[in-house]
Chain A
Amino acid sequence: MDKLSQAQSELREMDALAAEDSPVHRLHPLCKLLVTVCYIAAVVSFPKYDFTGLAVMVLYPAVLFQAAGIPVRTCFYKLRIVLPLVCAVGLVNPFLDRTPMLQLGMVTITGGVISMVTLMMKGVFSLMASFLLIATTTIDSLCAALRKLHVPSILTTLLLLTYRYIGVMLEEVTIMTEAYKLRAPGQKGIHISAWGSFLGQLLLRSMDRAQELFGSMLLRGFQGEFFYADVPPCKPSGIVYTIACAGAFLLARLVPIASVLGGLFVG
């Protein structure tokens, strides 16, 4: 599958997930946004050798995936974008940092290996958290949350408008790409002779579209303001959720829970 149809199907999938209903979906978007940011900040703040401390953080996405009823596998193919870069940076660690850290039987585990694994875990965990946020929150309620945080309305409106037209534009680019491919069999991409005109044509058409779009705004009395559906106010349960999660992340960050837990068994 090529990138364009892949993007279209990913957008459709995220839309479908966000449209479902669960206790997590019903939480106030602002609470979810804050908790997600806290979680990612906590995850990336773990020291590079603190594998065991970081391991505890897996519980948040695990619980949330289940509570939201979202299959874990849906987020795994998204790893393909993030992991290569993280791996590229992390993979050199075992070669450069050879300080032995732990002996398991015959195998010596070096600091580099541990820091590499921690780095990858950080990548996966933070990806899961933002995936869970957007899979349980629609873009417009997220923008409502951002407006509550006093993000300039131009930016949130632009975000919503752009999101609205991404589908339309992907469709147009797909149609043009298909038309191109049909007349240029065997070519992997756009030939240099069409580099400018391919996207240029689309660009001109898009500018006309923008013109018409603005016309349709003006005809409906547009004076610089957008009106959105009301977002229900945050319930006490949302506040409790936010505080509880933030507290739990702080606890996990400060207390080596895994070691304490393991200590009970190992003695």
Chain B
Amino acid sequence: MTMIEFRNVSFSYDSGNPVVADLSFSIGRGETVGLIGANGAGKSTIMKLLLGLVTGEGEITVDGLPMNRQNLPAIRQRIGFVLQDSDNQMFMPTVYEDMIFGPRNYGVSKEETDRRVDDVLKCLGLQELKHRYNHKISGGEKRMAAIATILAMEPEMILMDEPSTALDPVNRRTVINTVNRLPQTKLIASHDLDMILDTCQRVILLAGGAIVADGDAETILRDRELLEANRMELPFCLQGRR
């Protein structure tokens, strides 16, 4: 069953050069897909298109709902987006208040919201963070709290933009393990190919706004020639250094 589908989607900014050109792909429910490509390949634009933050040409459907004005709230409720800079995501005073922001805005009752918050925090082992202030928690804690904020919305799909940047190895590993435990459909955009290898079964490689390769993660990430032709390189764990 398909979760999202792009059919002949194009998008360009005012300047004219297409950022994304005639893009078609689909992602099935429960899949974890890595989105890789050089800077400016179109990763962020695909995410923005999927969230309705920008509108392009072509058809996008999310969980069977075509992307349009009426469906936008329903679509956004189904997709959780973890931003690259957690500071931009965690704007409320405390972690708790940030976690209730999404559910309460989508009309979930107060009791149900509180139950979700406690469940999510327990599941991620972050109970201790609940009443902490967003401006006083560490970078690693902030990233985990941002994921918790999204999970409290109980989305069916999670988008992540560079979830492992600026984290120390232990925090990075925590995020990877968390991602692997989440049952939702996931689309992860990153330059951290080792993390993609650890989390994704499928990889979409982009270049110049078009799909260059789409397939099994192991196969694509082991293809040195393909990666290097597209301004990428083998994941460190596959480079065979001593």
A and B touch in the complex (CB under 8 A): yes
Residue positions of A touching B, CB distance < 8 A:
15, 139-140, 160-161, 163-165, 167-168, 209, 212-213, 215-223, 225-229
Return the contact of B77 from the options A164, A217, A221 (Cβ within 8 A). A221
B91 touches A228 (CB 8 A): no
Within B30-89, the residues touching A (CB, 8 Å) are 51, 53, 73, 76-77, 79-81, 83, 85, 87-89
- A213 to B79 CA separation, bound complex (whole angstroms): 17
- A228 to B12 CA separation, bound complex (whole angstroms): 39
- A104 to B224 CA separation, bound complex (whole angstroms): 94
Within B79-138, the residues touching A (CB, 8 Å) are 79-81, 83, 85, 87-89, 91-94, 96-97, 100-102, 104-106, 131, 133-136
Which of chain A's residues has its CB closest to B132's CB? A19
6 additional A-B pairs beyond A220-B153, A221-B73, A221-B105, beta carbons within 8 Å, are A212-B85, A220-B105, A226-B92, A228-B92, A229-B97, A229-B100
B96 touches A229 (CB 8 A): yes
A227 touches B133 (CB 8 A): no
Which of chain A's residues has its CB closest to B108's CB? A221
Minimum CB–CB distance from B68 to chain A (whole Å) comes to 16
Interface of A is mostly: helix
Residues on the A chain within 8 Å of B133, using CB: 15
A219 touches B88 (CB 8 A): no
Residues on the A chain within 8 Å of B53, using CB: 215, 218-219
Return the contact of B105 from the options A161, A165, A213, A225 (Cβ within 8 A). A225
A-B contact count (CB 8 A): 78
B93 touches A15 (CB 8 A): no
A219 touches B93 (CB 8 A): no
Q: A220-B105, A221-B77, A225-B105 are in contact. Are A140 and B88 (CB under 8 A)?
A: no
- A143 to B31 CA separation, bound complex (whole angstroms): 44
Residue of A219, A227, A229 ringed by the most chain B CB atoms within 10 A: A219
Minimum CB–CB distance from A162 to chain B (whole Å) comes to 11
Return the contact of B135 from the options A167, A212, A222 (Cβ within 8 A). A167
Q: A161-B91, A223-B105 are in contact. Are A216 and B96 (CB under 8 A)?
A: no
Interface residues on B, range: 20 to 34
Q: A216-B88, A220-B102 are in contact. Are A140 and B93 (CB under 8 A)?
A: yes
Residues on the B chain within 8 Å of A140, using CB: 93-94, 97
Residues on the B chain within 8 Å of A163, using CB: 93, 135
Minimum CB–CB distance from A131 to chain B (whole Å) comes to 20
B93 touches A160 (CB 8 A): yes
- A212 to B96 CA separation, bound complex (whole angstroms): 21
B93 touches A221 (CB 8 A): no
- A168 to B101 CA separation, bound complex (whole angstroms): 21
B91 touches A216 (CB 8 A): yes
Minimum CB–CB distance from B230 to chain A (whole Å) comes to 27
- A151 to B120 CA separation, bound complex (whole angstroms): 34
Within B190-230, the residues touching A (CB, 8 Å) are none
- Contact pattern, B 182-196, Cβ under 8 Å of A = 1, otherwise 0: 000000000000000
Instruction: Kindly list the 4 A-B residue pairs having the minimum CB-CB distance in the complex, ordered from nearest.
Output: A221-B105, A220-B102, A140-B93, A227-B104
- A219 to B98 CA separation, bound complex (whole angstroms): 13
Instruction: Return 20 A-B CB contacts under 8 Å, by A number.
Output: A15-B136, A160-B92, A163-B93, A163-B135, A164-B92, A212-B83, A215-B53, A216-B91, A219-B51, A220-B105, A221-B77, A221-B106, A223-B105, A225-B104, A225-B105, A227-B97, A227-B105, A228-B93, A229-B97, A229-B131
Which of chain B's residues has its CB closest to A139's CB? B93
A164 touches B135 (CB 8 A): yes
- A191 to B133 CA separation, bound complex (whole angstroms): 37
B104 touches A216 (CB 8 A): no
Q: A164-B93, A209-B88 are in contact. Are A221 and B135 (CB under 8 A)?
A: no
- A220 to B83 CA separation, bound complex (whole angstroms): 12
Which of chain B's residues has its CB closest to A213's CB? B88
Residues on the A chain within 8 Å of B92, using CB: 160, 164, 226, 228
Q: A212-B83, A225-B105, A227-B101 are in contact. Are A219 and B91 (CB under 8 A)?
A: no
B97 touches A217 (CB 8 A): no
Minimum CB–CB distance from A40 to chain B (whole Å) comes to 26
Which of chain B's residues has its CB closest to A227's CB? B104
Residues on the A chain within 8 Å of B102, using CB: 220-221
Minimum CB–CB distance from A159 to chain B (whole Å) comes to 10
Residues on the B chain within 8 Å of A226, using CB: 92, 101
Residues on the A chain within 8 Å of B51, using CB: 215, 219
Which of chain B's residues has its CB closest to A161's CB? B91
Residues on the B chain within 8 Å of A167, using CB: 135
Residues on the B chain within 8 Å of A223, using CB: 105
- A161 to B97 CA separation, bound complex (whole angstroms): 12
- A226 to B106 CA separation, bound complex (whole angstroms): 12
